Copies of this chain bind each other. A is one copy, B any other.
C-alpha cells in the first residue's frame, strides 16, 4: 500500500499555510520589522530620522523597504511643501493591525532568551 496520506491536504490547512506565506512574504527581509516598529513608536518620521533610528541600515535598503511597505499599504508617505522639501513616513491604520503580531514575536523572543540563559 502506497502512502499518499495528506494531513495538510485539508482546505483549512491549505488556507492557513497560504496565509502564513503571504504574511511572511509581505514582512520579508532584514529590516521590515525594524522600520514598522520604529514608525509605530515614533509616529511620523522623515527619511533621515529613520536612518538615524535604525542602526546599520543603508539608504538603498531603507528606500526599497519603505516602497514595499507603501505598496502594501502598511506605511504612508507624504511629501510636505516645506522650505527644504521633507517627507513624512507614518504607519497606516492597516499597518497598525500588525501590532499584536509584532508583540507575539517580541514576547516569544524574550522568553526564548530567558529559557536559554536563566
B41 contacts A7, C-beta separation under 8 Å = yes
- Give, as a whole number of angstroms, the nearest-CB distance from A108 to chain B: 5
Q: A3: which B residues are within 8 A, CB to CB?
A: 48-49, 52
Most buried by B among A16, A38, A97, A102: A16
Q: A6: which B residues are within 8 A, CB to CB?
A: 52-53
Flag the segment in A18-26, A60-68, A80-88 that touches B. A18-26
Interface size on A, residues (CB 8 A): 47
- Interface pairs (23), CB distance under 8 Å: A4-B52, A5-B49, A6-B52, A7-B42, A8-B37, A8-B38, A8-B41, A8-B55, A13-B37, A16-B110, A17-B33, A17-B34, A19-B113, A20-B102, A20-B109, A22-B109, A22-B113, A23-B106, A23-B108, A26-B112, A98-B108, A100-B104, A101-B101
| Other A-B pairs, 6, CB within 8 Å; known A5-B49, A19-B112 | A8-B38, A8-B41, A19-B113, A97-B108, A100-B104, A101-B108
